[in-house]
Structure 1
Amino acid sequence: MTDPEEGEEEPRHEGNGSGDGGSTRAQPMRAYVLHPDIRTDRSRRLPEHRLAEAVALAAALPEMEILGSEIVRLPRAQPGLLFGTGKVEELKQKLHALDVGLVLVDGPVSPVQQRNLEKEWGVKLLDRTGLILEIFADRARTREGVLQVELAALSYQRTRLVRAWTHLERQRGGFGFVGGPGETQIEADRRAIDEQVIRIRRQLEKVVKTRELHRASRRKVPFPIVALVGYTNAGKSTLFNRATGAEVLAKDMLFATLDPTMRGVTLPSGRKIILSDTVGFISDLPTQLVAAFRATLEEVLEADLILHVRDIAHPETAEQAADVAEILQSLGVKGGTPQFEIWNKLDLVESPAHEALMAQAARSDHVFALSALTGEGLDRLLDAVSATFDEEKTERTLTLGYADGRRRAWLHQEGVVTSEDQTDEGYRLSVRWTARQEKRYRDL
């Protein structure tokens, strides 16, 4: 196994997938993407869209050549091989004909399944978690981001090591998964991983303390923090660049941004804010990464306003929005933090749907349809952001009956509820709102 000291400062990909683990990749990795559509799984998303997302994830890795992809429909997952023996043989012939070196399975694959499939097919195999970890390892740039990714990768490796009871393949290119072989004893591997985890956590504690000092300094500056959140590739960085004039990496690919970026912005009204660009969310985000990137997302927890950026042109924009809402809730984002919903990529929507979206957004105080690429609709958003911090807010206690669900839903949608208790008669809510929001509530 790689010595625990290696790769701490520069854990970048160096392996070429051929086993040498040291030279720069000269040839693209030839990959094939599979999405297991298991009948017993209950997903709100269509398998065709999930496969397309998996292909986009694979394409986000440098020098990856996608030779093909397909959906494999299964009544249930087989414990030993995931797929049935007939399908395994059919795929084996296809993979050999295409000269595939790497198979990407969009879903969880147990260590035993991975070992057996690699043996059957004679290829390397990555599941969804491993693929996302690879992307994060390739993209992280800040010291904290690098450490967090390495910690997540080690946690993933250790879990698979314990469950597989087989050799741990050499950490490829620092700690990647696409690389060559090498065997060590399982106990030595586990001990080495544990020692490295302890060392990384100590380093992270120092980095987190530094970030806390920076946050404490920002708290002394009387500028509100506005955080951009959203599904990966929703256009957050493009919007960030448009609003700030910065040049944050903004590409049409998944996870183009991993490390948080903050800039001061002077709005057209003259009000100054701090705008924060954050890592994009994704469905089935590996639990290791949710925990590891919690510190990175603390800007969201401390934000005075959250802008939820949606790719309104995506066929599953509603499902993506639901995934983002679940992750925000799991992170502990308070319900009282105001949120705006940004319907981005309006330039990709054709008439008459374009006009319909604009009209629908115009009827709401917290929904904004725009194109970060062209700037259409941006002025209305910036004016609303400024007005949010200009308007005086008051606190009220409201009592609603169980039958008054419409008003309760509106209050939560507006993000004005700071606390809620259930009583025998209904709900008692504490709200913090502007005079304009109170008037709209009375008119419901």
Structure 2
Amino acid sequence: MAAARSSQGWGQNAERAVLVAVEFTGEWRKLTSAAQLARKAAAVSAESGHDQTAAATEPLARAVDLDFDASLAEFEELARSAGAEVASTLVQRRPRPDPATLVGQGKLEEIEGVIASTGADLVLFDHDLTPSQLRNLEAKLPCRVIDRTQLILDIFARHARTREGQLQVELAQLEYQLPRLAGRGKAMSQLGGGIGTRGPGETQLETDRRKINLRIDHVKEQLESVRRIRRQQRQRREAVPVPVVALVGYTNAGKSTLFNALTEAGVLESSRMFATLDPKLRQLQLPSRRKILLSDTVGFIRNLPHTLVTSFRATLEEVERAEILLHVRDASSLMMDEQKAQVEKVLGELDVTRKPVIEVLNKVDLLPNEQRSHLTGGLAVSGLKKMGLDELLAAIDEALVVDPLIRVKFRLPQSEGAILAALEAGAVLEKKQFEGNLVYVTARGPASLLNRFSRFRERS
């Protein structure tokens, strides 16, 4: 676990960080905004009968600025979640990335000046850096350089509690490091260096690469061992089938708060990003008396590195195996629709887009009543204030197709008290009537339970 610990270490003592965010106006506006602008302008023009392109452009420009501002605020929150103190935030808008340093020579000199004036310990880039860009930036700046993926990996390392979570973090870190070994100056020269070391011997780069590959193989073996145990546990659990309902959503959408409100599990609730890393499972009884397993999972984020989705596939197995997904969305966020698109993108990578999804608009307690009444596209709830939970449980009950609800009339001898108790515990008794030594019961509940007592079914 050396890799996990070393990355974790830099975030523990509130190191001062300079944040660098770059908006590539040429690519983003051409590829993304142009189509939206054309559609909007065409619609306005069709309504008014004349060209309204300029009028259509203004709200779109505001939307682009809002998106960038929200992305910048999210980046700052990522830095704080890693334990960094934000010393300064620099923004650059440029048509395309500089292939050597991402930001170009002028901005690089500005970053260097800010580091000197603030005494910063590291620079955080809100973009993934290529190995050559990282190498060039480290050569020119007087402190460490961390890109977006490495920052998210560090946060994951801080929050991994289980053995499996820690192994997954280390695997992702090692796979991130491997292509970035090349070209680290004198450290990569022939082992020993100088006279007597030249020849076909192994270079330091080759040694480091071999060590990392060996460690990757070892971590994968350990992960497979842990996953084998998980599979055995799941097989025992599936021997008595209980459907799984998984909470998914953008990071900090309030999934853990809602999970606690529904299950009283007492898991960690935090405004920090990725506070939940290891999956949590708790049993929950629905209004129909059916039981489900509710799963709380890691939150998603825009531009979630693909290597993380791959490394954490085992953590997300509960999402893949779930009967229903509860997509928890932050109703108070200005970027709610954009966040929804990001979550759906990750769900697409997991190939679970065909599963039934219940949209849950969380944090409605933060909205004024007038705005709350106009919410559409999902169930309005508040995990913090425990609002709308009954409606949510009823919606889960309605959407669950595994072990469907049926209504059965029973004619039971009073001596079958154990059966009556089982019906009362696992189904809703809509009618119960005693006549002599018989009990007439109308029960609504899961087919798996009621069909067990079909011999007592009342014949019409």
Structure with greater helix share of residues: 2
Q: Offset at 1:377?
A: 1.1
Corresponding residue of 1:373: 384
CA RMSD of aligned residues (A): 2.4
Counterpart in 1 of 2:397? 386
1:30 maps to: 16
Q: Structure 2: which amino acid aligns with 1:121?
A: L
The residue number in structure 2 matching 1:267 is: 286
CA distance in 2 between counterparts of 1:132 and 1:115 reads 20
Alignment deviations for residues 103-140 of structure 1 (CA, whole Å, 9 cap, x no partner)? 11001212222222233220111110110111111111
What is the Cα deviation at residue 55 of structure 1? 0.5
Quote the residue 1:288 is aligned against.
307
Map of 1:135 onto structure 2: 155
1:56 is aligned, of 73, 77, 92, to 77
Deviations 1:20-69 (A, max 9, x none): xxxxx6x420011111111244368722111111101111013x211121
Query: What is the distance in 1 between the residues matched to 2:337 and 2:186?
Result: 43
Please say if 1:346 is aligned against 2:357. Answer: no
AA of the residue aligned to 2:386: G
Q: Give the superposition deviation at 1:191.
A: 0.3
SS of the aligned residue for 1:343 comes to: strand
1:96-245 aligned at under 5 Å gives the runs 96-162=116-182, 164=183, 166=185, 185-245=204-264
Task: Give the C-alpha shift of residue 84 in structure 1.
Answer: 2.2
Counterpart residue type for residue 49 of structure 1: A
Contact preservation (8 Å) 1:370, 1:377: yes
Paired with 1:142 and 1:231, the residues of 2 have a C-alpha distance of 22
The percent of aligned pairs where both chains have the same amino acid is 44
Q: Secondary structure at the match of 1:117?
A: helix
With 214-223 and 257-266 compared, the bigger mean Cα shift is at 214-223
Task: Letter of the 1:201 partner, please give it.
Answer: K
Deviations 1:138-169 (A, max 9, x none): 1111111111110010000002124x465779
What is the TM-score of this pair, normalised by structure 1? Answer: 0.75
Paired AA for residue 286 in structure 2: L
Q: Is the 8 A contact 1:35 1:50 kept in 2?
A: no
Instruction: Give distance in 1, aligned partners of 2:404 and 2:170.
Output: 45
Amino acid at match of 1:231: Y
Amino acid at match of 1:51: L
What is the number of equivalent residue pairs in this alignment? Answer: 356
Tell me by how many angstroms 1:86 deviates: 1.6
**Aligned residue number for residue 454 of structure 2:** none
Question: Cα–Cα, structure 1 residues 312 and 107, in superposed 2: closer, same or farther, change >3 Å?
Answer: same
SS in 2 for 1:352: helix
Give the direction of change, closer, same or farther, for the CA distance of 1:220–1:41 in structure 2 (3 Å limit): farther
| Counterparts of 1:196 and 1:224, CA distance in 2 | 37
Question: Which SS does the other structure have where 2:299 is aligned?
Answer: coil
Give structure 2 stretches of 5+ with no counterpart.
34-63, 189-202, 406-460
**1:325 is the counterpart of 2:344:** yes
Contact kept, 8 Å, 1:167 with 1:186, in 2: the verdict is no
Deviations 1:163-212 (A, max 9, x none): x465779xxxxxxxxxxxxxx81111000000000101111111111111
- Structure 2 distance, partners of 1:99, 1:39, is 31
State the distance in 1 between where 2:88 and 2:287 align: 48
Instruction: Give the structure-2-normalised TM-score.
Output: 0.73
- What amino acid maps onto 1:194 in structure 2? N
Alignment of 1:35-50 (within 5 A): 35-42=21-28, 46-50=67-71
When Rg is computed on C-alpha atoms for both structures, the one with the higher figure is 2
CA contact (8 A) 1:34 1:51 kept: no
The answer to whether the Cα contact below 8 Å between 2:88 and 2:114 also exists between their aligned partners in 1 is: no
Q: Secondary structure at the match of 1:223?
A: coil
Report the residue type matching 2:86 in the other structure: I
CA distance in 1, matches of 2:291, 2:337: 32
Residue pair 1:13, 1:138 contacting (<8 A) in 2 also: no
2:373 counterpart (344, 347, 355): 355
Deviations 1:366-407 (A, max 9, x none): x211111101111100112123337959xxxxxxxxxxxxxx
Q: Tell me, yes or no, if the aligned pair for 1:30 and 1:65 is still in contact at 8 Å.
A: yes
| Alpha-carbon displacement from aligned partner over 1:89-109 (angstroms, at most 9, x marks no partner) | 122212211111111100121
Q: CA offset at residue 296 of structure 1?
A: 1.0
Match of 2:45 in 1: none
Whether the 8 Å CA contact 1:301–1:334 is kept in 2: the answer is no
Q: Match of 1:7?
A: 2
Amino acid in the other structure paired with 1:56:
E
The one-letter amino acid paired with 1:98 is T
Once residues 85 and 238 of structure 1 are traced to their aligned partners in structure 2, the CA distance between those partners, rounded to angstroms, is: 46
Partners of 1:345 and 1:221 in 2: CA distance: 35
One-letter code aligned to 1:91: I
Helix, strand or coil at the partner of 1:118? helix
2:17 partner amino acid: A
Q: 1:300 aligns with which of 303, 306, 319?
A: 319
